[in-house]
Chains A and B, each alone.
Chain A
């Protein structure tokens, strides 16, 4: 009797794209709101963005069940941090926590592709980009998800900042103003929607700056 092997996978890909752009005193984090499985759309109105702390916002694409679990773990850890240290976690600290949380499941990973955006302790915008098992890097801008291969080259073209590895160092923050950055994000999603079947419906844009947090929505093609 030949042995039957499992054909069930614990993972699924719900698609979607995420983008984050860091500015001199602001940070823009955006994600589309389409949730799909295979060729089906499960819903047009699903938020992939979660505010982990005062100045840290995470957008994640991939398998949304793993994303939801990850968000819960991080907010629980943040709550404990607040109890122990009597202050909010800074964005770079949250970035390290996210990296460690992802790596602890190195042998059964969270199928989540994350971008973390926020303001660092000096008030400057910061964006951290991750792979599924926790390797991370501070960058000026990033995109993850099904549309990332379409979005990244465009952002490179518009925003390409000097590498933080160069010596003598050059500043990695984008010279764009907040309004220009939001406009760029809208353009980017409109283009990605044209050529990626998993991106569309609506884009949710979160803007973090010194005065607080603001949310904007823009409709995208629903086909």
Chain B
């Protein structure tokens, strides 16, 4: 049985065979006793297979689903004094670094920040659109929009484009009447309220540093240093993250940029080069 499939990348036609899976099925004997452990172990293992016409295509999609996407590292957390937001600044197109100076922390309005992970154009456009909507809300209602409201606006828009290929993994951080607020919103339509998030391919590394150093009662300087370190360690281990580690603080008076440090320089700041003792020093040869 042959199925023709359209390979969107190259525009070519590939043909695939439907797999003959009879060999993978195993039929436990109905006659032998149920507690035949040795028999069970020696029988061929059986695999659950999807009821799909296009097994190869299904496999490809499954791999894509678990593939780490969104080459970046962003993080945000709530603590006693407010919200700390930090991000790297590298943009990659496949293996090519297209920019080392991308602004991944987007200023939606003077008291709300959004982080960028995923498609740069998607994040830039929709965050700007969110800023416009927030301003219109202010004008219509004579009061600032809450972080809950703003994140819901964005989540609803992204949900309506679900399945169309937008790639957005953002955190909305701000300070409103109820105090500090932090939401994670993504292009699958997900929206989560939380106190600690990290998004992107470098997020596992950032979580490691962030989670182990986090306390609710950090001071602003300590929280900034924790955020900076978490981004630095993520850029150290993740190839898709790098550039400049930016740290922003959101407090009752709005956001303020605290620092922007080149991660290459941060490395030598955290791990200075100690001159090692020289055992045998080479000297210039004098003449013949």
Residue ranges of A at the interface with B (Cβ–Cβ < 8 Å): 2-9, 99-100, 102-103, 106-107, 129, 131, 133-137, 139, 149, 163-167
Contact = CB atoms under 8 A, between A and B. Distances in A.
A133 B119 contact: yes
Interface in B209-267: 243-244, 246, 257-262
Interface string B6-24: 1000011100000000000
B66 to A, nearest CB: 25
A166 B262 contact: yes
B121 interface: yes
A17 to B, nearest CB: 15
A137 B102 contact: yes
Contacts, number: 79
B187 to A, nearest CB: 12
B101 interface: yes
Contact of A134 (B12, B99, B124): B124
B160 interface: no
Contacts of A136: 124
Interface string B90-110: 000100101111110000000
A103 B101 contact: no
A contact face: mostly helix, strand, loop, or mixed: loop
Given A131-B121, A167-B260, A7 B11 contact: yes
B120 interface: yes
B98 A165 contact: no
A135 B165 contact: no
Contacts of B4: 2-5
Contacts of A137: 99, 101-103
Given A106-B125, A135-B121, 17 more contacts: A4-B4, A5-B13, A6-B6, A6-B11, A100-B125, A103-B121, A107-B165, A131-B98, A131-B120, A133-B121, A135-B120, A135-B123, A136-B124, A137-B101, A139-B101, A163-B89, A167-B258
A14 B243 CA distance: 32
Interface size class of B (residues with CB under 8 A): 35 or more
Contacts of B99: 129, 137, 139
6 smallest A-B Cβ distances: which pairs?
A135-B120, A135-B121, A167-B260, A5-B6, A133-B121, A163-B101
Interface of B: 2-6, 11-13, 89, 93, 96, 98-103, 119-125, 164-166, 243-244, 246, 257-262
Given A2-B2, A135-B124, A165 B89 contact: yes
A135 B262 CA distance: 22
B121 A165 contact: no
A159 to B, nearest CB: 13
Contacts of B166: 106
Nearest to A2: B4
Nearest to B2: A2
A134 B244 contact: no
A166 B2 contact: no
B106 to A, nearest CB: 11
Contacts of A3: 4
B124 A149 contact: no
A151 B122 CA distance: 27
Contacts of A107: 164-165
A176 B283 CA distance: 41
Contact of A166 (B5, B12, B119, B261): B261
A110 B2 CA distance: 36
Greatest chain B CB density within 10 A among A9, A137, A149 is at A137
A167 B101 contact: no
Contacts of B96: 149
Greatest chain A CB density within 10 A among B93, B121, B165 is at B121
Contacts of B6: 5-6
Contact of B257 (A99, A135, A149, A167): A167
Contacts of A149: 96
Contact of A165 (B11, B165, B244): B244
